[in-house]
Chains A and B, each alone.
Chain A
Amino acid sequence: MTEAALKEAKQPSEINLESGPDAGEHQTVGAPFHDNAKITVRNVDVFYADKQAVFDVSLDIGKNEVIAMIGPSGCGKSTFLRCLNRMNDTIDICRVTGSIKLEEKEILDTKIDVVPLRAEVGMVFQKPNPFPKSIYDNVAYGPRIHGLASRRSELDEIVETSLQKAGLWNEVKDRLHAPGTGLSGGQQQRLCIARTIAVSPEVILMDEPCSALDPIATAKIEELIAELSENFTIAIVTHSMQQAARVSNRTAYFHMGKLIEVNETEQVFTNPDHKLTEAYITGRFG
């Protein structure tokens, strides 16, 4: 590539990275709203102490849809995702304003109890984080603390079906009492997914679930996401645009804390409405 071409390629990103879309007001383009919304997000701002990380995000997440959130590092997509089950509560300096409704229930209300909320909105993290306990105890942990099974046989059944749904049952059924940390990275992540679905949540949030995995393990998780979308609403943050294209129904593009564009995944990757989205998916920055 010639020097001139490089400069040309860099130009739009440089301008936009400095000033953001339009410094003050901005409008999310595309179709952020959904007729059959499971989660309704309106005007959400997130601050870390004095620094604002997410600016005025409004978005619907439809029932049983898979919505992918993409954008360059530090654009606020993970922060936004963590608002959906109030995981940001664990960070002292973090403050969230606006409104997020799970069906009719306002989840940003400080009076609501986060314990049942997190049972309804489960989360899978970037790095596989099984508990240092047996595979069985990992999956049984949620049902146990929420009192979902009254008898041992019931618990056994929940563990088995969860592991089956996570596509891990055949690999681990003979060593349920081996430590969960002894599994491979991909298996650990599927164990974490099994652990999350064991409490039958309605929504599953996934924060870059495949970033620590090899391509084969990633393919398995992606397959799993497709299967899970029949029963669950899934919001996934990913750095891989191919992954977003493969697994999601809709895609949301974040840039510097602002939600730039939300559209059907196919449209985002073939004919985006916003020039920033286009710049990102064609690899001019990110």
Chain B
Amino acid sequence: MTNPDSQNQALTTAQKVELSLKKRYRAEARFKAFGLASICFGLLALVVLFSNIIGNGIGAFQQTDIQLEVTFDKDTLEIDDASDAQQLAIANFDGVIKNALKARFPDVKSRRDKRLLYGMISIGASFDLRDYLKAHPEKLGSTETLWLLADDDYDTYYKTLKAGEPFVGRMNEKQQAWVQSLLDNEQMKSSFNTRFFTSGDSAEPELAGILGALVGSLLTLLVTLLLSFPIGVAAAIYLEEYAKKTKLTDFIEVNINNLAAVPSVIFGLLGLAIFLNFFNMPRSIPLVGGLVLTLMTLPTIIISSRAAIKAVPPSIREAALGMGASKMQMILHHVLPLAMPGMLTGAIIGMAQALGETAPLLMIGMVAFIVDIPGGVTDPATVLPVQIFLWADSPERAFTERTSAAIMVLLAFLITMNALAIWLRKRLERRW
């Protein structure tokens, strides 16, 4: 190594290239490795997220039942005809359950212990008994062995026992002994929690279901889609095909881009001011929720629709115009069909955003505690992300479980929606 310059001069071009090659390949390998590492990081985050949610939420799909000898005693029920719906409605099924519990645990004597004992069975169980007696009116007066829904404290305790985890909860030693006694007699079991998918929200975690929020989300999104897609596409077509390039259209364009970046809670405040205060629409309804989310998703749909329209090759427009097609015919026959896949992509991104949106809906009162499943866009409702927010706020362990389960339902909803859109796009996609 005397003089690098003189050495370099002695080398031919091929040799110089050879020398630089190794360095280039190393750089390329680093470049590739960096991309791969990024993907791995993303996948890892996804796996952690999913395993955490599924690990927490899987329990919500199981409910705990307790077997009791239930006597449909006429005197306790205070009725004499089980086929009479009116009598059934006022019948004292709670008393029947209390009697059954007393019979199962005859040692419990003190008032405090009795109250604890009666808490073992969910208050929802009396409705189940009513439905049972309604279906079998001839059972009035007889004694049946039935599985009744357990209260959430017992449910949580049973699940931790099964999983072998240390228990932290509100169960004293007597309660734990009762559970042990039930377990010894195989009078406690887990079953699939259909109630979670068929009922609305409830203050009792074991009775709370996701259906109300699911239907609320569906109705809200329906309103959003029906409004934002046509409006967004029409605006995009006008801006792209008809509007002349002036200061005004530039101003509109800049502001559409700005709107896409406005925090969603501001749209909620706007909705509160306009739809609720000015137009006096009712609170908590999917119609208003859909209107607010329409405002929020419109910029996304307009921007992506414009990009899709721009991507239609000019040769196709010229061909149509050259044939003597009017501008509207050119747009309807050629531009729109070719731009539709891109527009759908934009719409689905907007819808996915809308589905996961919470903040603006809080502003218009969709955060209310609503038990009934909404039947239309003007019924009070809540939506999935708000339901998750509400449950996440509750202290009961069973609600924590249901929070994760609701997240799973939300993700499943999202994936179904996206899959549908991708399928639709594939069908519409044409090559030119």
* Chain A contact residues, CB within 8 Å of chain B: 85, 87, 90, 92, 114-119, 122-123, 125, 127, 129-132, 141-142, 145-146, 181, 192, 195-196, 199
Residues of B close to A132: CB separation below 8 A: 316, 337-338, 430-432
Given contacts A131-B334, A132-B338, contact A90 B318 (CB under 8 A): yes
Asked if A90 and B321 make an inter-chain contact with CB atoms under 8 angstroms apart, the answer reads: yes
Given contacts A92-B244, A92-B245, A181-B432, contact A129 B315 (CB under 8 A): yes
Which of B317, B322, B323, B432 meets A145, CB within 8 Å? B323
A-binding segment of B137-145, B278-286, B324-332, B352-360: B324-332
Residues of B close to A195: CB separation below 8 A: 319, 323
Asked if B431 and A122 make an inter-chain contact with CB atoms under 8 angstroms apart, the answer reads: no
Given contacts A131-B334, A132-B430, contact A122 B321 (CB under 8 A): no
CB of B408 closer than 8 Å to a CB of A = no
Between-chain CB contacts (< 8 Å), 28 pairs: A90-B321, A92-B244, A92-B245, A115-B324, A116-B324, A117-B324, A118-B321, A118-B324, A119-B324, A125-B315, A129-B315, A129-B318, A130-B319, A131-B316, A131-B334, A132-B316, A132-B337, A141-B320, A141-B323, A142-B323, A145-B323, A145-B325, A145-B326, A181-B431, A181-B432, A195-B319, A196-B322, A196-B323
Asked if A127 and B315 make an inter-chain contact with CB atoms under 8 angstroms apart, the answer reads: yes
**Nearest 7 Cβ contacts at the A-B interface:** A118-B324, A129-B315, A119-B324, A123-B322, A129-B319, A132-B432, A132-B430
Interface string of B286-321 (1 = CB under 8 A from A): 000000000000000000000000000101111111
* Chain B contact residues, CB within 8 Å of chain A: 244-245, 313, 315-326, 329, 333-334, 337-338, 430-432
In the assembled complex, how far is the CB of residue A100 from the closest CB belonging to chain B, in whole angstroms? 17
Asked if A90 and B334 make an inter-chain contact with CB atoms under 8 angstroms apart, the answer reads: no
Residues of A close to B333: CB separation below 8 A: 141, 145
Given contacts A127-B315, A131-B316, A132-B430, contact A142 B321 (CB under 8 A): no
Which of B324, B329, B338, B432 meets A199, CB within 8 Å? B324
Question: A143 — nearest CB in chain B belongs to which residue?
Answer: B323
Given contacts A87-B321, A92-B244, A181-B432, contact A129 B316 (CB under 8 A): yes
Residues of A close to B244: CB separation below 8 A: 92
In the assembled complex, how far is the CB of residue B318 from the closest CB belonging to chain A, in whole angstroms? 6
Question: A182 — nearest CB in chain B belongs to which residue?
Answer: B431
Q: What is the CA–CA distance of A119 and B324 in the complex, to the nearest angstrom?
A: 5
Residues of A close to B325: CB separation below 8 A: 115, 141, 145
Asked if A125 and B318 make an inter-chain contact with CB atoms under 8 angstroms apart, the answer reads: yes
In the assembled complex, how far is the CB of residue A180 from the closest CB belonging to chain B, in whole angstroms? 10
Question: B245 — nearest CB in chain A belongs to which residue?
Answer: A92
Question: A127 — nearest CB in chain B belongs to which residue?
Answer: B315
Given A87-B321, A119-B324, A132-B431, 6 more contacts at CB 8 Å? Answer: A118-B322, A123-B322, A132-B337, A141-B320, A141-B333, A145-B325
Which of A90, A92, A118, A181 meets B323, CB within 8 Å? A118
Q: What is the CA–CA distance of A159 and B430 in the complex, to the nearest angstrom?
A: 23
Question: B337 — nearest CB in chain A belongs to which residue?
Answer: A132
Q: What is the CA–CA distance of A195 and B318 in the complex, to the nearest angstrom?
A: 13
Given contacts A92-B245, A131-B334, A181-B432, contact A125 B324 (CB under 8 A): no
Q: Which of B245, B322, B333 has the most CB of A within 10 A?
A: B322
Residues of B close to A129: CB separation below 8 A: 313, 315-316, 318-319
Residues of A close to B317: CB separation below 8 A: 90
